[in-house]
Amino acid sequence: MPFIKRGRWKEVSGQVNSGLARNMSEKISVKKRKKLNGTIIVTYRCNARCSMCNRYKAPSRPEEEIGIETIKKLPPMYFTNITGGEPFIRTDLKDIVRELYKLSDRIVISTNGFFTDRIVDIAKEFPQIGIRISIEGLEETNNEIRGLENGFQRGYETLKKLVEMGMKDVGFGMTVQDRNASDLVHLYKISDDMGMEFATASLHNSFYFVENRNIIHNRPMVAKNFEDLINELLKSNSPKKWFRAYFNHGLINYIYGQNRLLPCDMSFDTFFMDPYGDVMPCNGTKDKEVMGNLQKMSWDELWNSEAANEVRMRVRKCNRNCWMIGSASPAMHKYIWKPTIWVIKHKMKALLSKQPYSMYENRICCDYRDGRISKEELDECSTCEKNAMIRDGLSERSREDLVTGIRMEN
């Protein structure tokens, strides 16, 4: 034991005792805490070059990215999504997952599927883990949007390997836009034949995507493809797919720039954490909204802080109307009666018709078709801002790298 001066002893033992007390009260409050839904962005580095996301141009510095010590401070969660950038760029991802399994009931990793060996390796150790591989269309479209040579083949091969290994929670993720909407139902059918999940999204703008010019141009065409997918999902015998149909109905509503179908409660029982340990309500805001930093604070301090409450007040007034699975899924669980009524109504229609759903159930689709609202007015309702400054949520040090051009490649 190092030598401590007599006068200092009282001070040190006081600090130890209060540290122990804090530790104990934290442990007690961990037991009492309600489980949350968390998304952990483990890195902003990415090997892809997607047309709808500039994150690859604004990577985080590896030495600034959160480590195991920060992961250990997270609260109990009923669901954790691990994402990036490309999360498998981190060679210590396995250690992160191992630590997260001590805190979370279910973990899903979102990836572009390129690092097959690393994905298979993690799946061997954690066969219960969920893997979602983003595939942005059939081969040519995917490779064009994703900017990865052989991206489709790599992603598809990875998925096949995981299925062959007997993994249950495996699936595709697709960001639907003008360029790939016509591939939507084809891709769903491929995933269905392989017994996989099929997750959809559409274009969003935010600091997270380092983008504010994303917009759907031909809304009726994209909505029609969503309508076809919704009808396929409603035809199935899987209640999970019927609720996915409701989520896709929400995407039609979103691309027409309408208010969300359900309230957004991000930051109340759901959070995102960025590679620097900054805890945020979501990834949909224009600039990064910070509730506190988990590298510098305990979870309880952060979650109950003044800054966190101020962010919650801003969330209550937020008018960005995102409809991404990270914010829509918790809302669908919380306000379950609304999607349930929708599902019952459409399943009953499915008994009488092959087309139980029509995009024209959304009044805005009729208004646009009948000329009561123009394309320009709908564009105004979106978050696309061609002349606004694009935010990236990077730390000063990571941004220095961009200026000096040290690390544009991974």
Q: Is 315 in the site for ligand SF4 (CB under 6 A)?
A: yes
Nearer to ligand SF4, 198 or 271 (CB): 271
Type of residue numbered 152 = F
Q: Is 88 in the site for ligand SF4 (CB under 6 A)?
A: no
Q: Is 169 helix (H, G, I), strand (E, B) or coil?
A: coil
Count of residues in contact with ligand SF4, rule CB under 6 A: 22
- In the list 37, 327, 362, 398, the residue contacting ligand SF4 (rule: CB under 6 A) is 327
Q: Is 176 helix (H, G, I), strand (E, B) or coil?
A: strand
Q: Is 255 in the site for ligand SF4 (CB under 6 A)?
A: no
Q: Is 65 in the site for ligand SF4 (CB under 6 A)?
A: no
196 is written with which tokens?
């996989």
Q: Is 59 in the site for ligand SF4 (CB under 6 A)?
A: no
Give me the least distance between CB of 55 and ligand SF4, in Å please: 4
Q: How far is the C-alpha of 80 from the C-alpha of 272, rounded, in Å?
A: 10
Q: How far is the C-alpha of 209 from the C-alpha of 398, rounded, in Å?
A: 16
CA count, 13 A, side-chain hemisphere, 89? 23
Q: Which stretch binds ligand SF4 (CB under 6 A): 8-16, 316-324, 361-369, 398-406?
A: 316-324
Q: How far is the C-alpha of 86 from the C-alpha of 49, rounded, in Å?
A: 11
Give me the least distance between CB of 264 and ligand SF4, in Å please: 3
Give the β-pairing of 107-111 and 36-41: unpaired
Q: Is 391 in the site for ligand SF4 (CB under 6 A)?
A: no
Q: Is 275 in the site for ligand SF4 (CB under 6 A)?
A: no
**Quick count: other Cβ atoms within 10 Å of Cβ 107?**
23
Task: Give the closest residue to 61 by CA, choosing from 293, 403, 389.
Answer: 403
Nearer to ligand SF4, 177 or 285 (CB): 285
Q: Which stretch binds ligand SF4 (CB under 6 A): 51-59, 120-128, 222-230, 341-349?
A: 51-59
Q: Is 253 in the site for ligand SF4 (CB under 6 A)?
A: no
- In the list 321, 340, 358, 395, the residue contacting ligand SF4 (rule: CB under 6 A) is 321
With beta carbons less than 8 A apart as the criterion, state whether 206 and 274 touch. Answer: no
Q: Is 136 in the site for ligand SF4 (CB under 6 A)?
A: no
Q: Is 170 in the site for ligand SF4 (CB under 6 A)?
A: no
Residues 80, 319, 241: CA angle, nearest 5 degrees: 45
Nearer to ligand SF4, 11 or 287 (CB): 287
**Residue recorded with tokens 């959070």:** 271
Give me the least distance between CB of 112 and ligand SF4, in Å please: 4
Q: Is 320 in the site for ligand SF4 (CB under 6 A)?
A: yes
Q: Is 281 in the site for ligand SF4 (CB under 6 A)?
A: yes
Q: How far is the C-alpha of 65 from the C-alpha of 96, rounded, in Å?
A: 12
Nearer to ligand SF4, 93 or 350 (CB): 93
Angle between the 219-235 and 239-255 helix axes, to the nearest 10 degrees?
170
**Quick count: other Cβ atoms within 10 Å of Cβ 238?**
10
Give me the least distance between CB of 43 and ligand SF4, in Å please: 9
Q: Is 85 in the site for ligand SF4 (CB under 6 A)?
A: yes
Q: Is 38 in the site for ligand SF4 (CB under 6 A)?
A: no
Beta-ladder partners of 134: 173
Distance linking the first and last C-alpha atoms of the chain: 44
- In the list 285, 362, 382, 398, the residue contacting ligand SF4 (rule: CB under 6 A) is 285
Q: Which sign does the torsion angle of CA 138, 90, 161, 190 carry? A: negative
Residue ranges that bind ligand SF4, judged by CB under 6 A:
46, 48, 50, 53, 55-56, 84-86, 112, 264, 266, 281-282, 284-285, 315, 318, 320-322, 327
